[in-house]
Amino acid sequence: MTEESRPTVRGRRLGAELRRLRDASGKSTEDAAGVLKCSRAKISRIETGASGIRRLDLSVLLDLYGITEPHARDALEQLARDGKKRGWWHDYGDTVPPAYADFLGLENDARYIRTWQPMVIPGLLQTEGYTRALLEANPAAVRKERVEQLVRIRMERKEVLNKADPARFWAIIWEPALRCPVGGEAAHRTQLTHLTEVAELPNVTLQVVPLEVGATAGACGAFVMFGFSDSPMPGAVFLETLTSSHYLENESELDGYGLAFDYLRSSALNPARSRDMIAAIAAES
């Protein structure tokens, strides 16, 4: 599949929502194909994000599924329009592989972002020095000539926290991630100081799970949850390994990660005590 024909994140989100609405209304793909006067295969392509959908056809489907609430219809129409737009990261060309483009698309559109990070500082909270040191630490995964571009991309990502209508960001970090001196003592201290500053933003919540808690619900590893509506309920969960990245949309999987995040939140220090711990670790470094 070429990059041009590859389903976009927004296309898949729209398709998944249309499939959910069709199922909830008790309609079949044959019913949907009938009102659009097209094949069932086309409905399948729309619902997987492989094909776009015209605004008129979208309106017809929403009528069929009984969706009358204007806000819900407007949100889906906006998603259909945005699915054709290029993200800012496209300017970086092949420096951004498809899996990373998926992540950036989810992050850019999210109203709520919640993450658990046991080993490193979350990307949206990293300083340039910290990011550069992380990237340079794994030359097998990141070619030297691409490091600076990737640093710029990560810094540009931070705009989601500072734009006019910013995302709500909730990060839970395990204590070892705060104590690891990535980039040396000076870079480490700068990073920790930055954390205490960004934690003061009204749209940012930062909590620390101290080592003394012992085993945590986060033993499953790092994850990022994205919510796309006014509700913080996750619409996608993004997972990353050394060699691959993917995201989850199945409702039962989303519920499981939402529950894990709730347990982690309960195990963590409250935001004020978390800031105090970060400041204390910075003072030690």
String of DSSP letters for 147-185: HHHHHHHHHHHTHHHHSSSPPEEEEEEEHHHHHS-TT-H
Q: pLDDT grade, residue 6 (50/70/90)?
A: low
pLDDT tens digits, residue range 14-46? 888 898 899 999 999 999 999 999 999 999 888
More confident residue, 97 or 27: 27
Q: Which of 97-101, 198-202, 230-234 is predicted most confidently?
A: 198-202
Q: How far apart are CA 133 and CA 130, in angstroms?
A: 5
Q: How far apart are CA 44 and CA 41, in angstroms?
A: 5
Q: How far apart are CA 93 and CA 151, in angstroms?
A: 15
Sole residue written with tokens 């819900």:
72
- Please give the average per-residue pLDDT across 249-276, as a whole number: 92
Model pLDDT, residue 79: 79
pLDDT tens digits, residue range 221-255? 999 999 887 766 778 898 887 667 778 877 888 89
pLDDT tens digits, residue range 148-165? 999 999 999 999 999 999
Pairing of strands 204-209, 168-174: parallel
Domains of the chain: 9-82 (1.10.260.40), 89-284 (3.30.870)
Q: pLDDT grade, residue 2 (50/70/90)?
A: very low
Q: How far apart are CA 211 and CA 143, in angstroms?
A: 34
Least confident of 85-99, 189-203, 228-242, 261-275: 85-99
pLDDT tens digits, residue range 43-94? 988 888 778 888 899 999 999 999 999 888 988 888 788 766 666 666 666 6
The 8-class DSSP code of residue 39 comes to -
Least confident of 80-94, 105-119, 176-190: 80-94
More confident residue, 219 or 242: 219
